[in-house]
Chains A and B, each alone.
Chain A
């Protein structure tokens, strides 16, 4: 944006002014995109869930009900802002801001299309992880300051859930970072060109399909990350923090009007932006067929547009899956949620991290001195992986595929096996035991 402005204005204005204006324009676009996206998401969710339940959904306001969100927004604006007398006024007021602003900040580092990135930030992955955790503080502020037991319970649950699922999410992202060797979100899609599974290592025409999700490591990482963002975004089946049948509305119980709407916006935008991160890291981002062919010359703008379309299709597809899960699944219990994160996702994510390291080792062995490890045994020095240096890339790829796939499948089987309920713990059996005792 800065470069664009400079090319227009030339050197008439000082650089700092041009930078400032460019930043303000970018921020405005991001804010508008965030709110507009949220409205579209709410509409889509209501319509799609309605169809899944054999209903029609909102279809009265505007064409196909598209303006329903605007009507809701007007309603929210005109509502009275009620603050409980017992509430901590300042914290109560600040909480929605603390929840929403980091969520919008994540937009800063996520690329929308080829060359369309609000900020080309070197440590994008780290930034996303750091920023998205700040919401937890806002949730806790909301629950605590409301001095309401439901709000408190909801905030406790939300924070517990966020912290638990942060860890598998981080490990899953880390596996992608190891494989790609980059933390720069804007560069991630560029690294995912080429052919499925093998990427660009074998040459040939660039299909734009070398997405990480097509590798065993990336697939497991993607599934774990997707489950984790479901929990972070408080989506069904992990909508425990605002389980309306249990604790009214969780931390938003004491909020009304626009403050409540801010939480709502925050939640949907978080879902969207985390879907974007998942897309960029695992699903190739804006990468797709035909893009490499449209990269140069006069067709470059067309390619840019196509990349934006690819990106949006993938992100909205992920959001559709979220809606789909909401239509299909009931809510988990708190202990089930914790079990799932710590007993299932975390071990698999750790082993997946190891798989990622293996994948990189097998593919890059011998390419640089840093990768060459020799096992020293007192008598002789054996180069365990020396044969890889001489192997062809295709052999390396196949070896890597077999090793990581076997490791991941074994890990999943093992984790599922150790988590399986043993036979004498079946609820039916347990009930029978109790009843038999009573009869006796």
Chain B
């Protein structure tokens, strides 16, 4: 029933006639509590909305799977096999960053000294980052993404300013974090990377942690007459022989396990000039091999080409390279 008065309405609940409760209410309450006690000893709930049973997630041992859209701090992506970075140093993220914690240094062409679309250094101050994710939103090349890693605490002052080597993650790492998100942008991102490689393959940045890996792989590539230290070298016909090139790589690309944060921090990335000069396994960039990042070990069944074919191909490549070099120098030399 309810009664209206000046200040509003008052409701009372009709509990029936008052009766003597000789402790039954207390016993009922104790029964409920005991049921919880019993269930908590025996039941482990997955769904906290169930009535009784333990639903504690014991954090360091157990953890919830983060949703794909979870975002903590930004990371940069590189292509798994070739180590080529997706970032073109367009400065969009640096501009939009609200707390201005992103600092990009653009790479310079070692010959001409002009700025090129690659990064020399990329710093993010994680300690001041507000995890808004705007950098990932705005990036036209899908090169910067939000990581799920959250156990970053450190007692090193300045230890949360992460450099290029510490930021770089293989695409497969991000794909495993957010498969559906990556599937949406995958084609576009790889197409843009392909475009960059096609136009100026020697200038595409290589992830610092991949430099050593690629160097090791280099001899076999040189043997095939495809790889070279020349920065100006490009791959003239990437689409014709993707499978062959992969067969000649003796070891498949190392699994995409990023280093722990501490170690990444210690290994300062080298400048782009050094990396591009050191190792440029340029030809390993056909579209099919890039898109097929998860299963590089499927190829070895196909036999290697014969010596004749190899020599022929090498001759062809040298000719095309020379032509390309000329073509590249002309526009860059005359601004």
Query: Taking beta carbons and an 8 Å cutoff, which residues of A are in contact with B?
Result: 48, 50-56, 324-325, 327-329, 412, 416-417, 420-421, 423, 426, 428, 431-432, 435-436, 438-439
Contacts and interface: CB of A to CB of B under 8 A. Distances in A.
Q: Which of B26, B30, B32, B34 has the most CB of A within 10 A?
A: B30
The 5 closest A-B CB pairs, nearest first, are A51-B40, A328-B33, A328-B30, A52-B37, A327-B33
Contact of B29 (A53, A328, A416, A432): A328
Nearest to A437: B5
A365 to B, nearest CB: 33
A419 B6 CA distance: 36
Interface in B22-48: 22, 26, 29-30, 32-34, 36-37, 39-41
6 contacts: A51-B36, A52-B40, A431-B12, A432-B3, A439-B3, A439-B5
B4 interface: yes
B295 interface: no
Given A52-B33, A56-B58, A426 B22 contact: no
B48 to A, nearest CB: 9
Contact of A56 (B6, B22, B33, B54): B54
A52 B36 contact: yes
A50 B56 CA distance: 11
B11 to A, nearest CB: 10
Contact of A439 (B4, B20, B26): B4
Given A328-B26, A423-B18, A439-B4, 20 more contacts: A48-B37, A51-B40, A54-B36, A54-B39, A54-B40, A54-B54, A55-B40, A55-B54, A56-B58, A324-B30, A327-B37, A328-B32, A329-B26, A420-B18, A423-B17, A426-B18, A428-B12, A431-B12, A432-B12, A435-B3
Contacts of A56: 54, 56, 58
Contacts of A423: 17-18
Interface of B: 3-6, 10, 12-13, 15, 17-18, 20, 22, 26, 29-30, 32-34, 36-37, 39-41, 52-56, 58
Q: Which of A327, A328, A421 has the most CB of B within 10 A?
A: A328
Given A421-B18, A435-B10, A439-B3, A54 B30 contact: no
Nearest to A438: B5
Contacts, number: 66
B12 A54 contact: no
Contacts of A426: 18
A396 B36 CA distance: 45
A54 B3 contact: no
Contacts of B29: 328-329
Nearest to B55: A54
A418 to B, nearest CB: 11
Given A416-B22, A431-B10, A55 B32 contact: no
B26 A417 contact: no
B326 to A, nearest CB: 70
A54 B10 contact: no
Q: Which of A54, A426, A436 has the most CB of B within 10 A?
A: A54
Nearest to A428: B12
A348 B32 CA distance: 28
A324 B32 CA distance: 11
Nearest to A422: B18
Nearest to B29: A328
B54 A51 contact: yes
Contact of A53 (B20, B22, B26, B36): B36
A51 B54 CA distance: 7
A88 B35 CA distance: 49
A436 B40 contact: no
A194 to B, nearest CB: 30
B34 A324 contact: yes
Contacts of B32: 328
B42 to A, nearest CB: 10
